[in-house]
A and B are shown apart, each in its own frame.
Chain A
Amino acid sequence: MVQALGHITINSVRDLGKAGWFLLYSFYMIVRRPGSLVHILKQMRFIGTKSLFVIVLTAAFTGMVLGLQGYYTLAKFGSEGMLGVAVALSLIRELGPVLAALMVTGRAGSAITAEIGIMRISEQIDALETMALDPFKYLVTPKFIAAMISLPLLCAIFDVIGIYGGWLVGVKLLGVNPGAYFYEMEKSVVWRDVYSGFVKSFSFGVIIAWISCYKGYYAGHGAEGVSRATTEAVVLTSVLILVWDYFLTSVLL
C-alpha cells in the first residue's frame, strides 16, 4: 500500500518533469530552429483553417444561447438594452477563448497525438534520429508555432460570429433595440477585455500543442498505446485549459 503510493508519486513527479522538459525544449527549438515555413503553413492549415467550420458552428449557437439566456436575465431588471454588453463580454473575456480551444483540442489535438504516436510506434521518430535530424524540428515546433498563431485568430472569429449570433436572437427574434445592442457594447468593451482574451487563447494554443505533442511523443506500445495517449491528451488538455483559464482570469481581471 505505502509502496504503491510511493510508486505512483515518484512516477507522477517524473512524468511532470519530463513534460516540463518537453515544453522548455520546444521553446528552445522554436528559437533555434523553427522548422521550414512550408511545415508551419501546413500545420496552420490543419489546426486553423480546417477548424473553421466547427468554430463557426459552435460560435453561432453559443452566441444565440447567450442572447436567449441574457435576455431572460436582463429582462427581469428591465435592462434588455444591455444585452449586447452581456453577450460581448462573456464571449470576448471567457467563452470565445475557452470554447474555441476546447473545439480545437477535440478536432486537432487528438489528431496531433495520434499522428506523432503512430510515428513513434512505427520507429519513424527513431529513423529521424538515426539521420542525425532532430524530430522536434519536423514534428513539434511547426505545430507549436501554428497553434500559437491559429488559436487567437480562431478565437477572434469565434467572438465575432458569437456576437452576431446573440444579435440574431436578441434583436431579430426578441426585439431588443438594434442601436442599443451595438452602442452599449462599444461603450463598455475596453481594450483590456480584448487583450485578456488574446492572452488566454494564445496560452491555450501552447497548452494544446504541448500536451498533444508530448503524449504522442511518449506513446506506449502498439495501437493500444496510441489510443490511450490520444484519450489522455484530450482529457488532460481540456482540464488544463479550464484550470489555467481560472488562474489567468484571476490575474488578468
Chain B
Amino acid sequence: MITLRNVHKSFGFQKVLDGLDLDIPEGKITAIIGPSGEGKSVLLKHLIGLLHPDSGQVQVDGESMVGVRRSQLNRIREKFGMLFQNVALFDSMTVYENVAFPLQEKTKLSKNEIRHLVLDALEDVGLKNIENKYPDELSGGMKKRVGLARAVVLNPKIILFDEPTTGLDPIIKRAIHQLIKDTHAKFGYTAVIVSHEIPEIFDVAQNVAMLYRGKILQQGSPEEIENSDHPAVRQFISGSLDGPIHMI
C-alpha cells in the first residue's frame, strides 16, 4: 500500500502538486487519469523517489520515502519496477542484455537460470527471436513490451506504468492493456498506470483516480468515475471543450 499525504511540489513558480492525498491499494491496478500537463508523471516519480516532495509524506508499506538515506531509499525501491513513458531501455545493450541486466545485478542466479527467466519474460510479453536486436531497431510497441519484460523480470511487488500505450496503434494498445492484465493476474503485483486512454483504461483498472489542479479530484471504482457527477471529471471523460477545464 502506498500513501501520499499533503504532498506539495513546485518547479520554479509553477505549482504542480498542491496538497495531494492519495491511497494506492495493494494488489490492485490503479489508474491515474487527468488532463495533460497536470503532473501525472511527476506524481508517479514521487512514488519511487525519483522526485521528492517540497513538503508532505510519501509512504510505501508504512515506510517513508521522504528525507531518508540513499540506502534506505534503495531498499524500498527493490519492491518496484517501472515502465517509463519513453521506455528508457539501455540503448547500448541488446534486448536480451536489457532484460537480463536487473537479474545480473540484483541476484546471484547462474547464467543458465538468467537465460531461462529472460526468455520466459520475453515470451510473456509475446516477443520471440529478437534477443539480439538493439532497442533502436525495434518499433514503439515492441520497445514497450521489452520495457514491460524488464519491469516484471524481478517479480516486483509494485509496478509503475507511465503512459504505457501513448503513441501506439489501437491493436497494440489493446495488446499492451491485455498484457498488463495478464501479468497482473499471474504475478498479483500492485500496479499504478498513468494513462490518457479513456475509456479503455476503465477495463484495465480496478481503481481510478483523477488528478486535477494538483489534487486528486475523485477516486473510486471505474464505474463510479464513469458515472461521476463532478463537472470536471465528466468533461474529461467525455472529452468536451465546455466545462471547468480550459484548454484553449
Indicate the size class of the contact surface on chain B.
20 to 34
Q: Is B187 interfacial (CB 8 A cutoff)?
A: no
State A123–B44 Cα separation when bound (angstroms): 14
Q: Is B32 interfacial (CB 8 A cutoff)?
A: no
Chain B residue with Cβ nearest A121: B86
Q: Is A15 interfacial (CB 8 A cutoff)?
A: no
Chain A residue with Cβ nearest B84: A123
Q: Do A130 and B90 touch across chains, with their CB atoms under 8 A apart?
A: no
Q: Is A239 interfacial (CB 8 A cutoff)?
A: no
Q: Do A123 and B88 touch across chains, with their CB atoms under 8 A apart?
A: yes
The one of A122, A124, A130 that contacts B50, using a Cβ cutoff of 8 Å: A130
Contacts of A134 in B (CB 8 A): 70, 74
Q: Is A133 interfacial (CB 8 A cutoff)?
A: yes
Query: What distance in Å separates the Cβ of B79 from its nearest Cβ neighbour in chain A?
Result: 9
Q: Do B77 and A131 touch across chains, with their CB atoms under 8 A apart?
A: yes
The one of A122, A129, A132 that contacts B91, using a Cβ cutoff of 8 Å: A122
Chain A residue with Cβ nearest B79: A132
Q: Do A130 and B48 touch across chains, with their CB atoms under 8 A apart?
A: yes
A130-B50, A131-B106 known; A124 and B91 CB under 8 Å? yes
Contacts of B50 in A (CB 8 A): 126, 129-130
State A131–B105 Cα separation when bound (angstroms): 9
Q: Is A8 interfacial (CB 8 A cutoff)?
A: no
Q: Is B182 interfacial (CB 8 A cutoff)?
A: no
Chain A residue with Cβ nearest B73: A132
Contacts of B81 in A (CB 8 A): 130
Query: What distance in Å separates the Cβ of A21 from its nearest Cβ neighbour in chain B?
Result: 13
Contacts of B74 in A (CB 8 A): 132, 134
Q: Is A173 interfacial (CB 8 A cutoff)?
A: no
Query: What distance in Å separates the Cβ of B82 from its nearest Cβ neighbour in chain A?
Result: 4
State A61–B89 Cα separation when bound (angstroms): 44
Contacts of B84 in A (CB 8 A): 123, 126-127
Chain B residue with Cβ nearest A128: B90
Indicate the size class of the contact surface on chain A.
10 to 19
Query: What distance in Å separates the Cβ of B126 from its nearest Cβ neighbour in chain A?
Result: 22
Query: What distance in Å separates the Cβ of B84 from its nearest Cβ neighbour in chain A?
Result: 5
The one of B85, B86, B105 that contacts A133, using a Cβ cutoff of 8 Å: B105
Q: Do A132 and B75 touch across chains, with their CB atoms under 8 A apart?
A: yes
Q: Do B86 and A122 touch across chains, with their CB atoms under 8 A apart?
A: yes
Contacts of A123 in B (CB 8 A): 84-86, 88
Contacts of B231 in A (CB 8 A): none
Contacts of B106 in A (CB 8 A): 131-133
Q: Is B236 interfacial (CB 8 A cutoff)?
A: no
**Residues 76-101 of chain B, each 1 if its beta carbon lies under 8 Å from chain A, else 0:** 01101110111011110000000001
Query: What distance in Å separates the Cβ of A39 from its nearest Cβ neighbour in chain B?
Result: 12
Query: What distance in Å separates the Cβ of B73 from its nearest Cβ neighbour in chain A?
Result: 8
Contacts of B67 in A (CB 8 A): none
Chain A residue with Cβ nearest B102: A131
Contacts of A132 in B (CB 8 A): 74-75, 77-78, 80, 106
Chain A residue with Cβ nearest B85: A123
Query: What distance in Å separates the Cβ of A237 from its nearest Cβ neighbour in chain B?
Result: 23
Q: Do B82 and A127 touch across chains, with their CB atoms under 8 A apart?
A: yes
State A107–B75 Cα separation when bound (angstroms): 39
The one of A118, A122, A124, A129 that contacts B77, using a Cβ cutoff of 8 Å: A129
Q: Which residues of chain A (110-129) have a CB below 8 Å from chain B?
A: 118, 122-124, 126-127, 129
A→B interface (CB under 8 Å): 118, 122-124, 126-127, 129-134
Task: List 21 A-B residue pairs with CB atoms under 8 Å apart, sorted by A's residue number.
Answer: A122-B86, A122-B88, A123-B84, A123-B86, A124-B88, A126-B45, A126-B84, A126-B88, A127-B89, A129-B50, A130-B48, A130-B77, A130-B82, A131-B101, A131-B105, A131-B154, A132-B75, A132-B78, A133-B102, A133-B106, A134-B74
A-B complex: 5 closest residue pairs judged by Cβ atoms: A123-B88, A132-B77, A132-B74, A127-B88, A130-B82
B→A interface (CB under 8 Å): 45, 48-50, 70, 74-75, 77-78, 80-82, 84-86, 88-91, 101-102, 105-106, 154, 160
Q: A122-B88, A124-B91, A131-B154 given; name 7 further pairs at CB < 8 Å.
A: A123-B88, A127-B84, A127-B88, A130-B80, A131-B105, A131-B106, A134-B70
